[in-house]
Amino acid sequence: MKCARFLLVSLAGVMLAACASAQESRKNAPATLNDTSLEVVALESLHQFQFTPAQMRTLRRLAKETAMEPGARETVKVSDGFRKTLLDLRNALADASNAERIQQLQEKIDKLRAEEKVDLDDAVQITEAATRRAPEIFKLLSARQVAGYIALYADDFPDPLEILRAALPRVRGFNAKEWEAIREDVSEEIGRLVGSVTLPVNVLSVRGAPPVSELAALGVARVSVGGAFAFNALGALVEAATELRDSGTYGFLERAAGGGRAARSAFS
């Protein structure tokens, strides 16, 4: 998911970055610090993927309809050293001829950002158009481009098993309100996922998951229950055996009658 978001940031920022073809007059033109940071974000994505001329033409075409509308941003105070380093990084990325210098400037700006606790107003709104057109960019990427990007951000890619292990102890104590909140978060994430891919999306149902009708409205193609039905049947078996063992009664036979009717209807 993070890879998709970086690509969408590239799409939304390409117009600000002048499609990575910064000219000398553009380098010297006045710009706000936030605008410069947005250009750096876009240029860094373009630099990381090493787009071909044909891919860049597609990016330029899509950028016209996917870029967010410009708006007012909060002015942020930084040192002259931070501002100069950010400008140098933008120009180095636009020139794209010295990878070593780009890396040095990236490390320098990260250090200054941490030291000065800089929090720029450079958030990028991922438009509906960008979400809709992102699959076209994915299809353009070569295996080498994808592999190179994953290698750069391997530590940032979510591991499903790690997420599950971290979530289990956290959610056990949730109350009804907390379950409602996490369900809304899951719905939003599913909606973003469905909107970012062209293939059918399957969701595994778990406790607290949105109902099927809500998932269908989000565009989910199929809802799986995993082993829930089998475990449900096993739970009924344990209840029946426990009743017979502990109480010596036969209340489970009433429940068994419904199962018997279902079996006869299915196999007759």
User: pLDDT tens digit string along 85-132?
Assistant: 999 999 999 888 898 999 999 999 999 999 999 888 877 777 777 777
Please check the confidence at residue 238 and state whether its pLDDT lies above 80.
yes
Query: Where is average pLDDT lowest: 41-55, 109-123, 136-150, 162-176?
Result: 162-176
* Predicted pLDDT at 159: 66
Q: pLDDT tens-digit profile of 40-92? A: 888 887 888 888 888 888 888 877 777 777 667 788 888 999 999 999 999 99
* Predicted pLDDT at 239: 92
* Predicted pLDDT at 234: 92
Q: How far is CA 204 from CA 166, 223, 228, in A?
A: 18, 6, 10
Which of 47, 82, 71 has the alpha carbon at shortest distance from 121? 71
Please check the confidence at residue 20 and state whether its pLDDT lies above 70.
no
Contact yes or no for 140/58 (Cβ under 8 A):
yes
Coil, helix or strand at residue 22 = coil
10 Å CB burial of residue 201 (0-12, 13-18, 19+) is: middle
Rounded to the nearest integer, the mean pLDDT of the chain is 77
Q: The pTM is what?
A: 0.52
